[in-house]
Amino acid sequence: MEKRTIPVSAPMFVGNEKAYVMDCLDSTWISSAGKYVEKFESSFADFCGARHAVSCCNGTVALHLAMVALGLGPGDEVIVPTLTFVATANVVRYCGARPIFVDVEPDSWTMNSALIEEKITARTRGIIVVHLYGHPGDLDPILSLARRHGLFVVEDAAEAHGAEYKDSKVGALADVGAFSFYGNKAITTGEGGMLATNNDELASKLRLLRGQGMDPQRRYWHPIVGYNYRMTNLAAAVGLGQLEKVEWHLERRASVAKQYRNLLKKVPGVSWQSDQEWAKRIYWMFSIMLDETSLGRDDVMAQLQELGVETRPVFYPMHLLPPYRDDADKTTYPVAERIARLGFSLPTWAGLTDEDLQYVTNCLARVLDRNASQSQGG
Protein backbone atom coordinates (compact mmCIF):
# COMPACT_ATOMS: atom_id res chain seq x y z
CA MET A 1 0.00 0.00 0.00
CA GLU A 2 1.65 3.21 -1.20
CA LYS A 3 1.76 5.83 1.53
CA ARG A 4 -0.37 8.94 1.08
CA THR A 5 -0.59 12.15 3.11
CA ILE A 6 -4.20 13.06 3.89
CA PRO A 7 -4.94 16.09 6.10
CA VAL A 8 -7.92 15.99 8.42
CA SER A 9 -9.34 19.08 6.71
CA ALA A 10 -8.59 21.52 3.90
CA PRO A 11 -10.59 24.42 2.43
CA MET A 12 -11.83 24.24 -1.14
CA PHE A 13 -12.24 27.34 -3.32
CA VAL A 14 -14.33 26.46 -6.37
CA GLY A 15 -16.32 29.66 -6.90
CA ASN A 16 -15.85 33.42 -7.10
CA GLU A 17 -13.68 33.79 -3.99
CA LYS A 18 -10.58 35.01 -5.81
CA ALA A 19 -12.50 37.37 -8.10
CA TYR A 20 -14.31 38.94 -5.16
CA VAL A 21 -11.11 39.37 -3.14
CA MET A 22 -9.38 40.99 -6.11
CA ASP A 23 -12.34 43.33 -6.44
CA CYS A 24 -11.82 44.36 -2.81
CA LEU A 25 -8.13 45.01 -3.44
CA ASP A 26 -8.77 46.94 -6.63
CA SER A 27 -11.43 49.06 -4.95
CA THR A 28 -9.31 49.48 -1.75
CA TRP A 29 -12.34 48.52 0.37
CA ILE A 30 -10.61 45.95 2.55
CA SER A 31 -11.72 46.74 6.13
CA SER A 32 -15.11 46.31 7.75
CA ALA A 33 -16.91 48.69 5.39
CA GLY A 34 -17.67 47.45 1.90
CA LYS A 35 -20.33 45.86 -0.26
CA TYR A 36 -19.32 42.24 0.42
CA VAL A 37 -20.11 42.46 4.13
CA GLU A 38 -23.69 43.46 3.37
CA LYS A 39 -24.02 40.93 0.54
CA PHE A 40 -22.67 38.10 2.66
CA GLU A 41 -24.99 38.95 5.55
CA SER A 42 -28.11 39.17 3.40
CA SER A 43 -27.25 35.99 1.50
CA PHE A 44 -26.54 34.08 4.71
CA ALA A 45 -29.83 35.27 6.23
CA ASP A 46 -31.64 33.93 3.17
CA PHE A 47 -29.70 30.66 3.42
CA CYS A 48 -30.77 30.17 7.06
CA GLY A 49 -34.30 31.43 6.56
CA ALA A 50 -33.60 34.18 9.09
CA ARG A 51 -34.72 37.79 9.11
CA HIS A 52 -31.27 39.01 10.11
CA ALA A 53 -27.65 37.88 9.84
CA VAL A 54 -24.91 39.83 11.62
CA SER A 55 -21.31 39.12 10.65
CA CYS A 56 -18.35 39.23 13.02
CA CYS A 57 -14.71 38.23 13.18
CA ASN A 58 -15.00 34.63 14.45
CA GLY A 59 -17.37 32.07 15.89
CA THR A 60 -16.39 32.61 19.51
CA VAL A 61 -17.07 36.31 19.13
CA ALA A 62 -20.49 35.45 17.69
CA LEU A 63 -21.37 33.48 20.81
CA HIS A 64 -19.99 36.20 23.08
CA LEU A 65 -22.05 38.87 21.33
CA ALA A 66 -25.13 36.69 21.79
CA MET A 67 -24.48 36.37 25.53
CA VAL A 68 -23.94 40.11 25.99
CA ALA A 69 -26.94 41.08 23.86
CA LEU A 70 -29.15 38.73 25.87
CA GLY A 71 -28.07 40.44 29.08
CA LEU A 72 -25.97 37.71 30.66
CA GLY A 73 -24.00 38.98 33.64
CA PRO A 74 -22.11 38.11 36.83
CA GLY A 75 -23.81 35.51 39.01
CA ASP A 76 -25.97 34.15 36.19
CA GLU A 77 -25.91 30.54 35.02
CA VAL A 78 -26.21 29.06 31.52
CA ILE A 79 -26.78 25.37 30.84
CA VAL A 80 -24.46 23.88 28.21
CA PRO A 81 -23.57 20.35 27.10
CA THR A 82 -20.31 19.18 28.60
CA LEU A 83 -19.27 17.67 25.25
CA THR A 84 -18.48 20.70 23.10
CA PHE A 85 -15.64 22.92 21.96
CA VAL A 86 -14.36 25.08 24.82
CA ALA A 87 -15.68 28.34 23.32
CA THR A 88 -19.22 27.37 24.34
CA ALA A 89 -18.25 27.50 28.01
CA ASN A 90 -15.73 30.32 27.65
CA VAL A 91 -18.24 32.88 26.40
CA VAL A 92 -20.38 32.30 29.48
CA ARG A 93 -17.36 32.92 31.70
CA TYR A 94 -16.46 36.06 29.70
CA CYS A 95 -19.67 37.57 31.06
CA GLY A 96 -18.89 36.65 34.66
CA ALA A 97 -21.52 33.91 34.54
CA ARG A 98 -21.19 30.20 35.24
CA PRO A 99 -21.68 27.35 32.76
CA ILE A 100 -23.70 24.44 34.15
CA PHE A 101 -23.00 21.16 32.38
CA VAL A 102 -25.27 18.33 31.24
CA ASP A 103 -24.43 15.02 29.61
CA VAL A 104 -25.17 14.13 25.98
CA GLU A 105 -27.11 11.49 24.07
CA PRO A 106 -25.17 8.32 23.19
CA ASP A 107 -26.31 8.28 19.54
CA SER A 108 -26.38 11.89 18.34
CA TRP A 109 -23.75 13.08 20.88
CA THR A 110 -25.86 16.22 21.43
CA MET A 111 -27.33 17.61 24.65
CA ASN A 112 -29.63 15.22 26.53
CA SER A 113 -32.76 17.34 26.95
CA ALA A 114 -34.13 15.08 29.68
CA LEU A 115 -31.28 16.11 31.99
CA ILE A 116 -31.70 19.87 31.71
CA GLU A 117 -34.58 20.68 34.06
CA GLU A 118 -32.85 19.29 37.14
CA LYS A 119 -30.01 21.76 36.54
CA ILE A 120 -32.25 24.85 36.45
CA THR A 121 -31.95 27.17 39.47
CA ALA A 122 -33.00 30.70 40.35
CA ARG A 123 -29.78 31.87 38.71
CA THR A 124 -30.35 30.15 35.36
CA ARG A 125 -30.71 32.61 32.47
CA GLY A 126 -30.46 30.43 29.42
CA ILE A 127 -29.44 27.29 27.53
CA ILE A 128 -26.89 26.87 24.74
CA VAL A 129 -27.72 24.01 22.38
CA VAL A 130 -24.68 22.77 20.44
CA HIS A 131 -25.21 21.18 17.03
CA LEU A 132 -22.16 18.99 17.55
CA TYR A 133 -20.06 17.96 14.56
CA GLY A 134 -22.92 19.12 12.33
CA HIS A 135 -25.74 17.13 13.98
CA PRO A 136 -28.60 19.30 15.31
CA GLY A 137 -29.56 19.12 18.94
CA ASP A 138 -33.16 18.16 19.76
CA LEU A 139 -34.56 21.69 19.94
CA ASP A 140 -38.32 21.25 20.52
CA PRO A 141 -38.20 19.87 24.09
CA ILE A 142 -35.48 22.38 24.99
CA LEU A 143 -37.43 25.34 23.60
CA SER A 144 -40.55 24.16 25.42
CA LEU A 145 -38.64 23.86 28.68
CA ALA A 146 -37.08 27.28 28.19
CA ARG A 147 -40.46 28.91 27.63
CA ARG A 148 -41.81 27.41 30.85
CA HIS A 149 -38.89 28.78 32.82
CA GLY A 150 -38.42 32.09 31.01
CA LEU A 151 -34.96 31.24 29.64
CA PHE A 152 -33.21 32.25 26.44
CA VAL A 153 -31.97 29.58 24.03
CA VAL A 154 -28.90 30.07 21.84
CA GLU A 155 -27.91 27.71 19.04
CA ASP A 156 -24.19 27.05 18.82
CA ALA A 157 -24.24 26.21 15.13
CA ALA A 158 -20.51 26.78 14.61
CA GLU A 159 -20.20 23.36 12.97
CA ALA A 160 -23.63 23.06 11.35
CA HIS A 161 -24.04 25.38 8.34
CA GLY A 162 -27.10 24.12 6.48
CA ALA A 163 -28.08 21.40 8.94
CA GLU A 164 -31.83 21.01 9.45
CA TYR A 165 -34.05 20.31 12.42
CA LYS A 166 -37.45 18.97 11.39
CA ASP A 167 -37.09 20.43 7.86
CA SER A 168 -35.95 23.89 8.98
CA LYS A 169 -32.37 25.07 8.82
CA VAL A 170 -30.70 25.59 12.17
CA GLY A 171 -29.47 28.98 13.32
CA ALA A 172 -32.64 31.01 13.74
CA LEU A 173 -34.89 28.43 15.40
CA ALA A 174 -34.17 29.77 18.89
CA ASP A 175 -33.46 33.33 20.05
CA VAL A 176 -30.22 33.54 18.10
CA GLY A 177 -27.71 31.21 16.46
CA ALA A 178 -23.93 31.53 16.13
CA PHE A 179 -21.82 30.21 13.24
CA SER A 180 -18.08 29.90 12.65
CA PHE A 181 -16.23 30.24 9.34
CA TYR A 182 -12.86 28.95 10.53
CA GLY A 183 -10.72 27.33 7.84
CA ASN A 184 -11.90 23.78 8.57
CA LYS A 185 -15.64 24.51 8.48
CA ALA A 186 -18.03 23.51 5.68
CA ILE A 187 -17.65 27.02 4.28
CA THR A 188 -14.93 29.38 5.41
CA THR A 189 -13.71 32.96 5.46
CA GLY A 190 -10.38 31.96 7.07
CA GLU A 191 -11.58 33.36 10.38
CA GLY A 192 -15.09 34.71 10.73
CA GLY A 193 -18.46 34.32 12.36
CA MET A 194 -22.15 35.09 11.89
CA LEU A 195 -25.24 35.46 14.04
CA ALA A 196 -28.73 34.65 12.77
CA THR A 197 -31.95 35.80 14.41
CA ASN A 198 -35.56 36.69 13.68
CA ASN A 199 -35.64 39.22 16.52
CA ASP A 200 -35.37 42.79 15.16
CA GLU A 201 -34.42 44.34 18.50
CA LEU A 202 -31.80 41.71 19.21
CA ALA A 203 -30.27 42.14 15.75
CA SER A 204 -29.94 45.90 16.30
CA LYS A 205 -28.27 45.30 19.66
CA LEU A 206 -25.86 42.79 18.14
CA ARG A 207 -24.85 45.28 15.43
CA LEU A 208 -24.37 48.04 18.00
CA LEU A 209 -22.21 45.85 20.24
CA ARG A 210 -20.17 44.54 17.30
CA GLY A 211 -19.15 48.03 16.12
CA GLN A 212 -17.63 49.56 19.29
CA GLY A 213 -21.10 50.53 20.50
CA MET A 214 -21.14 53.47 18.07
CA ASP A 215 -24.53 54.99 17.30
CA PRO A 216 -25.22 54.24 13.59
CA GLN A 217 -26.87 57.66 13.25
CA ARG A 218 -24.22 59.67 15.09
CA ARG A 219 -20.57 58.96 14.26
CA TYR A 220 -18.20 58.65 17.22
CA TRP A 221 -21.10 58.77 19.70
CA HIS A 222 -20.99 55.64 21.87
CA PRO A 223 -24.07 55.15 24.09
CA ILE A 224 -22.75 51.79 25.36
CA VAL A 225 -19.46 49.97 25.77
CA GLY A 226 -19.05 47.85 22.66
CA TYR A 227 -16.47 45.66 20.96
CA ASN A 228 -14.44 45.75 17.77
CA TYR A 229 -15.81 42.44 16.52
CA ARG A 230 -16.46 43.31 12.87
CA MET A 231 -15.78 41.14 9.82
CA THR A 232 -13.58 42.59 7.07
CA ASN A 233 -14.78 43.12 3.54
CA LEU A 234 -12.00 40.77 2.40
CA ALA A 235 -13.26 37.96 4.62
CA ALA A 236 -16.85 38.59 3.55
CA ALA A 237 -15.78 38.42 -0.10
CA VAL A 238 -14.36 34.94 0.48
CA GLY A 239 -17.48 34.01 2.45
CA LEU A 240 -19.84 35.11 -0.30
CA GLY A 241 -17.91 33.08 -2.85
CA GLN A 242 -18.12 30.06 -0.55
CA LEU A 243 -21.82 30.56 0.17
CA GLU A 244 -22.66 30.68 -3.53
CA LYS A 245 -21.29 27.12 -3.72
CA VAL A 246 -22.52 25.92 -0.33
CA GLU A 247 -24.70 23.12 -1.73
CA TRP A 248 -21.69 21.72 -3.58
CA HIS A 249 -19.63 21.79 -0.37
CA LEU A 250 -22.38 20.11 1.65
CA GLU A 251 -23.11 17.48 -1.00
CA ARG A 252 -19.43 16.61 -1.30
CA ARG A 253 -19.10 16.20 2.46
CA ALA A 254 -22.26 14.07 2.54
CA SER A 255 -20.77 11.89 -0.20
CA VAL A 256 -17.57 11.50 1.84
CA ALA A 257 -19.62 10.41 4.86
CA LYS A 258 -21.66 7.94 2.82
CA GLN A 259 -18.49 6.37 1.48
CA TYR A 260 -17.03 6.12 4.99
CA ARG A 261 -20.16 4.38 6.26
CA ASN A 262 -20.04 1.84 3.43
CA LEU A 263 -16.34 1.15 3.88
CA LEU A 264 -16.40 1.01 7.68
CA LYS A 265 -19.10 -1.67 7.71
CA LYS A 266 -16.24 -4.06 6.97
CA VAL A 267 -14.08 -2.78 9.85
CA PRO A 268 -14.95 -4.46 13.18
CA GLY A 269 -14.82 -2.53 16.43
CA VAL A 270 -15.88 0.82 14.95
CA SER A 271 -19.12 2.81 15.30
CA TRP A 272 -19.96 6.42 14.51
CA GLN A 273 -22.14 9.36 15.51
CA SER A 274 -25.57 8.38 14.22
CA ASP A 275 -28.31 10.47 12.60
CA GLN A 276 -31.65 11.01 14.30
CA GLU A 277 -34.89 10.85 12.30
CA TRP A 278 -35.75 14.48 13.05
CA ALA A 279 -32.39 15.77 11.85
CA LYS A 280 -30.69 16.38 8.54
CA ARG A 281 -27.11 16.77 9.62
CA ILE A 282 -24.14 18.13 7.72
CA TYR A 283 -20.71 16.58 7.97
CA TRP A 284 -18.33 19.06 9.47
CA MET A 285 -16.43 15.99 10.61
CA PHE A 286 -17.09 12.28 10.21
CA SER A 287 -16.40 11.10 13.76
CA ILE A 288 -16.08 7.51 14.92
CA MET A 289 -15.75 5.58 18.17
CA LEU A 290 -13.68 2.51 18.93
CA ASP A 291 -15.02 -0.35 21.01
CA GLU A 292 -13.95 -0.47 24.64
CA THR A 293 -11.96 -3.61 23.85
CA SER A 294 -10.03 -1.99 21.02
CA LEU A 295 -6.53 -0.54 21.15
CA GLY A 296 -6.39 2.80 22.94
CA ARG A 297 -7.73 5.67 20.86
CA ASP A 298 -4.57 7.79 21.08
CA ASP A 299 -2.40 4.86 19.95
CA VAL A 300 -4.66 4.28 16.96
CA MET A 301 -4.45 7.96 16.01
CA ALA A 302 -0.66 7.96 16.36
CA GLN A 303 -0.32 4.91 14.13
CA LEU A 304 -2.63 6.46 11.54
CA GLN A 305 -0.46 9.58 11.58
CA GLU A 306 2.58 7.43 10.81
CA LEU A 307 0.70 6.16 7.76
CA GLY A 308 -0.03 9.72 6.64
CA VAL A 309 -3.63 9.95 7.89
CA GLU A 310 -4.28 12.99 10.07
CA THR A 311 -7.10 12.74 12.61
CA ARG A 312 -8.49 14.78 15.51
CA PRO A 313 -9.68 13.59 18.94
CA VAL A 314 -13.22 14.30 20.04
CA PHE A 315 -13.37 17.36 22.30
CA TYR A 316 -12.56 16.94 25.98
CA PRO A 317 -15.70 17.31 28.13
CA MET A 318 -15.82 20.73 29.74
CA HIS A 319 -16.10 19.37 33.29
CA LEU A 320 -12.66 17.74 32.92
CA LEU A 321 -10.84 20.91 31.85
CA PRO A 322 -8.93 22.80 34.59
CA PRO A 323 -10.84 26.12 34.24
CA TYR A 324 -14.19 24.36 34.67
CA ARG A 325 -13.63 21.67 37.25
CA ASP A 326 -15.03 23.94 39.95
CA ASP A 327 -18.18 24.47 37.86
CA ALA A 328 -18.85 20.74 37.70
CA ASP A 329 -21.18 19.50 40.44
CA LYS A 330 -21.38 15.92 41.71
CA THR A 331 -23.20 14.84 38.57
CA THR A 332 -21.49 12.18 36.50
CA TYR A 333 -21.21 12.45 32.73
CA PRO A 334 -20.59 8.88 31.56
CA VAL A 335 -21.77 9.30 27.96
CA ALA A 336 -19.62 12.35 27.22
CA GLU A 337 -16.60 10.80 28.91
CA ARG A 338 -16.93 7.58 26.93
CA ILE A 339 -17.29 9.40 23.60
CA ALA A 340 -14.32 11.63 24.41
CA ARG A 341 -12.18 8.68 25.45
CA LEU A 342 -12.92 6.53 22.40
CA GLY A 343 -13.87 9.01 19.68
CA PHE A 344 -11.95 10.75 16.94
CA SER A 345 -12.58 12.39 13.58
CA LEU A 346 -11.40 11.08 10.23
CA PRO A 347 -10.36 13.37 7.36
CA THR A 348 -13.53 15.14 6.20
CA TRP A 349 -13.53 17.75 3.45
CA ALA A 350 -14.95 18.32 0.01
CA GLY A 351 -11.81 17.52 -1.98
CA LEU A 352 -11.30 13.95 -0.80
CA THR A 353 -11.39 11.32 -3.54
CA ASP A 354 -12.72 7.77 -3.39
CA GLU A 355 -9.09 6.61 -3.41
CA ASP A 356 -8.33 8.83 -0.41
CA LEU A 357 -11.24 7.41 1.56
CA GLN A 358 -10.31 3.85 0.65
CA TYR A 359 -6.78 4.56 1.87
CA VAL A 360 -8.01 6.02 5.17
CA THR A 361 -10.26 3.06 5.93
CA ASN A 362 -7.63 0.56 4.80
CA CYS A 363 -5.15 2.18 7.18
CA LEU A 364 -7.64 2.11 10.02
CA ALA A 365 -8.47 -1.55 9.40
CA ARG A 366 -4.77 -2.37 9.18
CA VAL A 367 -3.97 -0.64 12.48
CA LEU A 368 -6.86 -2.27 14.33
CA ASP A 369 -6.19 -5.71 12.87
CA ARG A 370 -2.48 -5.55 13.59
CA ASN A 371 -2.98 -4.58 17.19
CA ALA A 372 -5.77 -7.11 17.69
CA SER A 373 -3.40 -9.82 16.47
CA GLN A 374 -0.65 -8.59 18.80
CA SER A 375 -3.09 -8.55 21.71
CA GLN A 376 -4.23 -12.13 21.02
CA GLY A 377 -0.66 -13.26 20.61
CA GLY A 378 0.32 -11.65 23.92
Active site residues: 185
CB atoms under 10 Å from CB of 105, counted, come to 24
Q: Which residues contact 307 (CB under 8 A, 6 or more apart)?
A: 3, 363, 366, 367
Instruction: Output the CA torsion 201→185→134→361 (10° steps).
Output: 180
For residues 23 and 20, give the distance between their C-alpha atoms in angstroms, rounded to a whole number.
Answer: 5
User: If we measure between CA atoms, which residue out of 105, 114, 159, 153 comes closest to residue 276?
Assistant: 105
Cα dihedral value 65, 69, 70, 72, nearest 10: 70
Alpha carbon distance 239, 86 (integer Å):
24
